[in-house]
Amino acid sequence: MTSTCDVLLSGGIVVTMDDTRRVLEEGAVAITGNRIVAVDTASALAHWRAGTTVDCRGQVIIPGLIDCHNHLFQVAGRGLGDGMALWQWLGEFMLPLAAGITPAEALAAARLAAMEALSAGTTTIVDNHYAPADVQTTLDIAAMLEQLGLRGVVARGMFGPYTAIARDNGLSPALFRSDTADELASMRACMSTWRSERVKIWPAPINVIYNDLELVRGSVALAREYGVKWHTHCSEARVDPEIYAQTYGIRPFTCMAQEGLLGPDATFAHAIWLDDNEVALVGTQRCGIAHNPMSNEYLASGAVRLRALRDAGATMGIGADGAAGHLMDLFQIMKQVVYVQRLATLDPQATHAWEAFELATREGARLAGIDAGQLAPGKLADLAVVSLAGAHMAPCFDVVANLVYCASGRDVSLTMVDGRIVYAHGKPTFADQDEVIAEARARCRELVDRLGTPVRGTLSKVMG
């Protein structure tokens, strides 16, 4: 009996990441509309007839990768701000750049980063956009993600009033432009205006450590009113819990637990410096943690307690984290998940390739709150196809190990989101690649020149 579908990807190795973690050596995936309708061997699906058939021989079909924490606009400063720890990097480089960027510059940079991400097999991005964060620019960023064909979230970053912690730790007041009431009113305007199935808007107080506590409370209340998650940074630098405790007399996650702010709707970037009690609280409340190993290495922030957090019950995903991660390539991030944990613990079994791939797919989907992250009937048709043709991919015994340790985003030949091909044959489907790159180059150069942002790092200091 013949079955029909819209798209049939056939002949490649299929890494399903389903509940049994099936790997089909010569498999096929059938898609109708925006859902997967069948996953099996190519021979078992030989009776399927499709409007479009994609020959995937010599390639791997994988679930689309989920970027759980990014700042797409920060690509405007790619390669700058080298040789600084977090608070210095924020105070001297990133926040001044963010305060000076125009809406057009931010949109051009974010579009470039989003295009890079989808070309590297990323299908969902949680974009913690905070500059500029006016209502119109926030909506424009959301529209840009939708126009490119991505799935995602604009987690609108809110600074609110200029707090003593921000002042005392060298952060400029330039981004702390609104009081709590105005910030939350703008957040509500974004959430009530925007309508999309693929791209959502979440409240995102920028950082629990230096945000006004009332802003955090109000953000969580808004998220719960609208039935969405909320997002923030917390305990990224070693000094963060101590700074927080000096002001509030309590560690940040303990405070949030007492305030009733934790839960499956709470998602945190970094969460590196947690004590045992905080780990238990995060796990018990099933919070989401976006692990950003490339950024954490670059800023010398530390290594997340991956095993402890997962064992406690936290949902863990991974993120590229903007200019501190440099590349919108989750294949690079996956390998760093493994390397960071092994180096931090001196234990070669601290984690492994399959766990890193799980964080980038099905666990990332859980954190983002989407019905994706695995190739299984009924799931959203978000996937990528990765070539095995390069010398760096041969031989291939454990395909997931090759994907994590050997592959890069440049090996991706096709990206599909919501049943639509959004990247193929080296080009995005819904944007002019050359125009996007040219505009971003021009606008980012104009920004850096106008602000006088230093274009050299601290190499001269290192070399004496």
Report pLDDT digits (tens) over 399-409: 999 999 999 99
Q: pLDDT value at position 141?
A: 98
* Over residues 400-428, mean pLDDT: 98
How far, in Å, CA of 168 to CA of 35, rounded?
51
pLDDT band at 457 (very low <50, low <70, confident <90, very high): low
Least confident range from 44-53, 93-102, 455-464: namely 455-464
Report pLDDT digits (tens) over 345-401: 999 999 999 999 999 999 999 999 999 999 999 999 999 999 999 999 999 999 999
Mean of the per-residue pLDDT values for the chain?
A: 97
Q: Do 3-63+374-428 and 65-368 show the same overall fold?
A: no
Q: pLDDT value at position 1?
A: 81
* CATH code assigned to 3-63+374-428: 2.30.40.10
pTM of the model: 0.97
* Over residues 414-420, mean pLDDT: 98
How far, in Å, CA of 52 to CA of 404, rounded?
29
**178 to 73, 94, 212, 394: CA distances (angstroms):** 21, 19, 11, 55
* CATH code assigned to 65-368: 3.20.20.140
Q: pLDDT value at position 456?
A: 72
Domains of the chain by residue range:
3-63+374-428, 65-368
